[in-house]
């Protein structure tokens, strides 16, 4: 039996790739390509909804899908710790619900974030610099927010040294870690985590050169969602990386 899939954000850069992957996979049938102007009832008969739309629209799209009993894959950015906490409560109150939130579908990004979590325990001076294409509407990126939140968590409440963080050129503080955002022609996506210590700086860099980087992660996430239960955040478990960065690295509920 094929799984019927609806895609919210289907006309976008990521959405068109998701549609292509779903259409090429015999396990799935693409039944709805949804955009901003789509009827809210469109795609209601799908088993699985993929949301790759806009950070402002994503919570309502996910909530509607859960109310219909659809399994949900979220690739949209903007799912900070606060939003995830609220989503975890909704999922817990919805019998049989399955939601997979993936801040970044690329293997290298997942590994980069895991390595940053390990390193964050050993350095007190940490900053994140992310760069994206000029079409990106939100900043900081969802990946940078998630990376900063997970590094802060790995430090068990030990604050990062972020001098003069009240000055706007010092970036935006996310979980106490300064994050700097560039929107630059010629860039697809890039993230650097810089960790400063006595006489040294460790830099963990990930470069996305094209959307092809997301292909394998999207496919793995779609298949993982067929049997998933509850709320899962990140591809760590799906890619066999659970435990790499310590307990509960990429899982929030």
Residue window 129-148: x/- pattern of binding to ligand NDP, with contact defined by CB under 6 A: -------------x------
Alpha carbons 241 and 239: distance in angstroms, whole number:
6
248 binds ligand NDP (CB under 6 A): no
Residue pair 46/5 in contact by the 8 Å Cβ criterion: yes
Residues labelled catalytic: 132, 136
Q: How far is the CB of 103 from ligand LZUJQKHR (least distance, A)?
A: 6
188 binds ligand NDP (CB under 6 A): no
Segment lying near ligand NDP (by CB under 6 A), choices 49-57, 62-70, 148-156, 171-179: 49-57
Q: Which of 47, 132, 180, 206 binds ligand LZUJQKHR (CB under 6 A)?
A: 132
Q: Characterize 161-195 residue by residue with b for buried, 16 or more Cβ atoms within 10 angstroms of its Cβ, and e for exposed.
A: ebeeeeeeeebbebbbbbbbbeeeeebbbbbbbbb
Alpha carbons 224 and 244: distance in angstroms, whole number:
19
Choose between 46 and 222: whose C-beta lies nearer to ligand LZUJQKHR.
222
Start-to-end CA distance of the chain, whole Å, equals: 29
**Cα–Cα distances in angstroms (integers) from residue 127 to residues 52, 162, 178, in the given order:** 28, 8, 5
**Could you tell which of ligand LZUJQKHR, ligand NDP, none binds residue 196, using a CB distance below 5 to 8 A set by kind?**
none
Choose between 53 and 104: whose C-beta lies nearer to ligand LZUJQKHR.
104
Residue pair 100/228 in contact by the 8 Å Cβ criterion: yes
Rule CB under 6 A: which residues touch ligand NDP? 8-15, 35-37, 52-57, 75-77, 102-105, 142, 214
């Amino acid at each position: 039996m094929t799984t019927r899939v609806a895609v919210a954000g289907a006309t976008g850069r990521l959405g068109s790739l998701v549609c292509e992957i779903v259409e090429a996979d015999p396990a799935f049938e693409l039944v709805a390509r949804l955009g901003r102007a789509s009827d809210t009832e469109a795609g209601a008969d799908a088993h699985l909804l993929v949301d790759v739309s806009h950070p402002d629209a994503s919570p309502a799209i996910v909530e509607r899908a859960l109310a219909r009993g659809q399994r949900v894959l979220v690739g949209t950015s903007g799912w900070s710790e606060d939003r995830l906490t609220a989503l975890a409560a909704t999922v817990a109150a919805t019998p049989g619900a399955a939601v997979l939130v993936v801040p970044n579908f690329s293997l290298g990004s997942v590994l980069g974030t895991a390595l940053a979590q390990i390193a964050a325990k050993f350095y007190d001076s940490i900053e994140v610099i992310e760069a994206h294409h000029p079409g990106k509407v939100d900043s900081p990126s969802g990946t940078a927010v998630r990376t900063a939140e997970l590094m802060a968590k790995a430090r068990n409440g030990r604050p990062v040294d972020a001098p003069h963080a009240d000055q706007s050129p010092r970036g935006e503080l996310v979980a106490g870690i300064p994050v700097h955002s560039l929107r630059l022609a010629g860039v697809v996506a890039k993230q650097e985590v810089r960790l400063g210590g006595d006489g040294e700086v460790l830099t963990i860099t990930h470069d996305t050169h094209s959307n092809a980087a997301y292909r394998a992660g999207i496919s793995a996430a779609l298949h993982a969602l067929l049997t998933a239960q509850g709320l899962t955040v990140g591809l760590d478990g799906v890619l066999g990386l659970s435990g790499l960065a310590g307990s509960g690295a990429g899982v929030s509920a």
